[in-house]
Amino acid sequence: MLARLDERVLRHVVGDGFRERGHFFDAVAALWVSGELVHIEDLVLHDAHVDVRAPTHELTIAHAVLRVRRRLWNAEPDWGLGTAGLAVLSGDIGDAEETVTLRPVPAETPETEQEHDDDDDDDDFGMDFSEIDAVIARSGQVLDGGIPEAKPVKMDDPLGLIRDDDWDENERLENWRAVIHQADLLPPALGAAVLFDAWERLEPLRRQHWLGSQLVSAYLRSRGKVTSHLFCLNTGLKSVRHERRRASDRSVRLMAFLDAMALSAEAGLKELDRLSLAKIQMELRLKDRRSNSSLPGVIEIVLSRPIVSASMVARHVGVTSRGALNLVAELGVREMTGRGRYRGWGIL
């Protein structure tokens, strides 16, 4: 099932739209598996910065999952499984006092001392620019996959409200990363199941427990099992009973994970069929249209989002909100929200 889905997405005409829509569906499913409910339309609108209400705590977490998935997809396949990638994804780069190496300053002469006395304002600007250069240097190290040299600062948290001293996350992460070497000896699907089960047992990150499923999807990509997109594991996990996912028998848990993978792949194949049919139907409306018509742009955003609003369409194709409503009406896309404050259209 995974191989069939990967092959179809790799060569499918709606592969890009399927890949982007999968980020939204899996982010919502990740919260569902954790016992929280987030509406898909709220997440899409929040990501487009057109919220209709103040975002909830659960919506903020779902958006964090969405951003992590995009970052994993845009990075190298094995980036998220390394020390640097885990440090970035877990937000543990460190509040620190960086040691910045500045260029040597030549010895001052009486003339230069007089110039400094005359240009005190320039010195202030120079200090500001050196701080900016230091920030740019640290950002470059992070983008290159490194971690800026830093001295850890002890957080003043005597009550343990932020970090639990008895719960060593770094040690637990290292223990989980050690399981990767065992998983590499197994077939990719079974290795991913072992990794996910280890994450569930060890619980390395209490604040980001949802990160485990995303890292397992990245592992499947690094093993070459699913390379066309970041696999949407949580869409299948939410269809597996909680008793099987949390069973005391390890074999039952591994089988439940493998069943979740099959269910996710099956849902992905059905989603491809729906998107393909919708694309064909919408492209029929392009017949006898002028070459500079905005309808192709509307089709593109409709295929890449689970739901779109008039403001999102207007921003994407560069028209007014009234023009966006007319374009959506011409395509005949089904309205999905039924709400009075805003209207949304999408592909079911």
Query: In the predicted model, what is the mean pLDDT of the chain?
Result: 82
Asked whether residue 177 carries a pLDDT value surpassing 70, the answer given is yes
Q: What is the mean pLDDT of residues 32-46?
A: 91
**What residue segments make up the domains of the chain, in order of their start?**
2-93+167-271, 288-346
Q: What is the dotted CATH code of the domain comprising 288-346?
A: 1.10.10.10
Do residues 222 and 192 touch, judged by C-beta distance below 8 A? no
Spatial separation of the C-alpha atoms in residues 282 and 287, rounded to whole Å: 10
DSSP for residue 180? H
pTM above 0.95, yes or no: no
Tokens (6 digits) for 227 = 């390379």
Q: With cut-offs at 50, 70 and 90, classify the pLDDT of residue 186.
A: very high
pLDDT reported for residue 163: 57
**Percent of the chain at pLDDT above 90?**
48
Contacts for 161-167: CB closer than 8 Å, 24+ residues apart: 164/206, 167/206
pLDDT tens by residue, 265-311: 999 999 999 999 999 988 888 887 887 788 888 999 999 999 998 88
pLDDT tens by residue, 299-313: 999 999 999 988 899
Alpha-carbon torsion 303, 305, 310, 311, what sign?
A: negative
Asked whether residue 324 carries a pLDDT value surpassing 60, the answer given is yes
Spatial separation of the C-alpha atoms in residues 144 and 138, rounded to whole Å: 10
Q: Where is average pLDDT lowest: 12-16, 123-127, 138-142, 179-183?
A: 123-127
pLDDT reported for residue 75: 92
Asked whether residue 252 carries a pLDDT value surpassing 60, the answer given is yes
pLDDT reported for residue 334: 83
pLDDT reported for residue 68: 95
What pairs with residue 108 in β-bridges? none
Q: What is the mean pLDDT of residues 337-348?
A: 74
pLDDT reported for residue 206: 82
pLDDT tens by residue, 136-165: 777 776 666 555 554 444 445 555 555 556
Asked whether residue 66 carries a pLDDT value surpassing 90, the answer given is yes
pLDDT tens by residue, 72-96: 999 999 999 988 888 888 875 433 3
Do residues 62 and 28 touch, judged by C-beta distance below 8 A? yes
pLDDT reported for residue 259: 95
Q: What is the mean pLDDT of residues 1-30?
A: 93
